[in-house]
Amino acid sequence: MAPRSRRRRHKKSPSSVAPVVETPPTAVAPVPLILSKPGPSIDSLGFFSLENNVPGLSQLILQKLNMKSYEEYKLVLDGGTPVSGFGYRCLEEMFQKMEDTFRFCAYCKALPSGLSDSKVLRHCKRCRNVYYCGPECQRSDWPAHRKVCQELCLVAVDRLMEWLLVTGDFVLPSGPWSWLTEVVQGWDTWFSMRCLQLDDTLDAVLDSQAMTTLWASVRRPRPDPHVLKGSLKRLLTDVLSRPLTLGFGLRALGINVGKVGGSTVHVVGASHAETFLTRPGDYDELGYMFPGHLGLHVIMVGVDVAAGFSQSTSASLLEPGTVQLSGHRGLYHDFWEEQIETGQMAHPDLVVAFHPGFHASPDLMEAWLPTLLLLRDYEIPTMITVYSHQELAASLQILVDLDTHITAYGANPFASLKPEQVYSNPNKQPVYCSAYYIMFLGSSCQLDKRQLEEKVNDRV
């Protein structure tokens, strides 16, 4: 292994970096969460950045969630118990207050508290997803809104339907793959493989009491069945995108999942998005992707890993055919020194970062830099995912500036199909989780900026 002094010597100042075989069901064994000191948080930065576009929005959100501070909000995300009156008397109240957090004028950014008595925020009748304080703002905003209105219709349905995942009333189809792994190259082939099982699952959810209760509680007309089924399929891809993206990385980088003792994947920069509502069964699909694997251990490492992520009281050796989940709250380079260099945990076969965001903030870049240099110097096969083509280009340039050897990048075949709206800028083009990927291994000579931009434009 590379000496620690080598990694420190390469550290740069953030300001210098530019912005068909049947197999037994896969058993999933969660293991404990290990706590460490916190560091810069992408969750907190994201929350407070709401103020940049809509002053007062963060406080409105806390008010509607019956919370007194961001610290209390974060406590709930981490699985803790809030000290104030968080919670709602009924589903109707919950959905109403959730919707209230979206109530601000998309054009002038006015909040309900800033309106005169004669004005009321009303939503766009087409998408039901953005609000305006009056006809003048709506007309002025139409040139921007018309470009995303149809896509925002999907967002409005999906954010309500997501409740069925939270309650467990929408259980994802699962079981050994009936097709060879090499055949399943993306969502089209995955949906074809799961066709009959998936149709039965979706029909059962559509006919369930939970679905009836949901739409009665939101006090909106229930959409047509094909609209609801489309939403369920998008939500399914959102949940399965992460495990299948891990599988895509293992496959693309040629990682041997048949080695004795099993294989280890580290998910670095993990936050509540990867851990808060993750159930062990959500990663069954990763195991089914590799029939005959000798064990897969997925370790979530990040300062925002939820405290309740793992329930098991002790770690166990990897068993063939099992997927094991565990979490560690802290910075990855600290985790490496405390757990990997001391031999307490296995050396990773693959490291993955979902939306690290180091291109967006000097603070985050400073936090990520030791980890990126560590991964480069130890020549760990690494994959990161990003939301957009713009973020792809910016992240590539940073990695090139760090002399990483970029081996592949492009559109992710297992990107989420669920559109993500920018909360405080609703008419910005929606993005999709893990839309693009970058893979790198070790160090290499860098391309100049013009060559890089030409390659990005040719590839995606």
Q: Which tens digits make up the pLDDT trace of 198-235?
A: 999 999 999 999 999 999 999 888 999 999 999 999 99
pLDDT at 255 over 50: yes
> Region 421-428: what's the mean pLDDT?
84
What does the pLDDT read at residue 367? 86
Which residue has better confidence, 213 or 276? 213
- Top pLDDT among 63 and 96 is at 96
Long-range contacts of 133-140 (CB under 8 A, 24+ apart): 133/105, 133/107, 133/108, 137/105, 137/106, 137/107, 137/108, 138/107, 140/107
Residues of the chain with CATH 3.40.50: 4-40+254-459
Burial of 299 (0-12, 13-18, 19+ CB in 10 A): buried
Whole-angstrom Cα distance, residue 304 to residue 427? 28
Q: Mean pLDDT across the stretch 27-35?
A: 43
pLDDT of residue 257: 94
Q: What is the pLDDT of residue 314?
A: 40
- The residue type found at 13 is S
Would you place residue 276 in the very low, low, confident or very high pLDDT band (cuts 50, 70, 90)?
confident
Provide mean pLDDT across the span 2-29. 36
When pLDDT is averaged across residues 175-187 and rounded to a whole number, the result is 94
Task: Provide mean pLDDT across the span 321-333.
Answer: 90
**pLDDT the model gives residue 393:** 96
Give the mean pLDDT of 77-97.
Answer: 69
254 pLDDT more than 90: yes
CATH class for the domain made up of 4-40+254-459 = alpha beta
Tokens 């240099």 locate to 373
For position 15, what pLDDT does the model report? 32
Whether the per-residue pLDDT at 196 is higher than 90: the answer is: no
pLDDT of residue 434: 97
For the residues 127-146, what does the mean pLDDT come to? 94
User: Which residue, among 441, 251, 248, 438, has the nearest Cα to 353 in the 3D structure?
Assistant: 438
Q: Which of 165-169, 232-236, 313-317, 345-349 comes out lowest in average pLDDT?
A: 313-317
Nearest to 357 by CA among 388, 381, 327, 326: 388
> What distance in Å separates the CA atoms of residue 114 and residue 31, rounded to the nearest whole number?
49
pLDDT of residue 219: 83
Lowest-confidence range among 77-81, 146-150, 190-194, 224-228? 77-81
Q: How far apart are the C-alpha atoms of 164 and 232, rounded to whole Å?
A: 9
Around Cβ 440, how many Cβ atoms within 10 Å?
25
Report the C-alpha gap between 442 and 460 in whole angstroms. Answer: 24
Total number of residues shown for the chain: 460
Confidence of residue 16 (pLDDT cuts 50, 70, 90): very low
The pLDDT assigned to 298 comes to: 93
First-residue to last-residue Cα distance in the chain: 36
- Going by pLDDT thresholds of 50, 70 and 90, the confidence category of residue 159 is very high
Which tokens sit at 396?
A: 């590539």
Segment 121-134 mean pLDDT: 92
pLDDT above 90: residue 72: no
| Res 46: pLDDT | 63
Of residues 212 and 119, more confidence is placed in 212
Say whether pLDDT at 438 is over 90.
Answer: yes
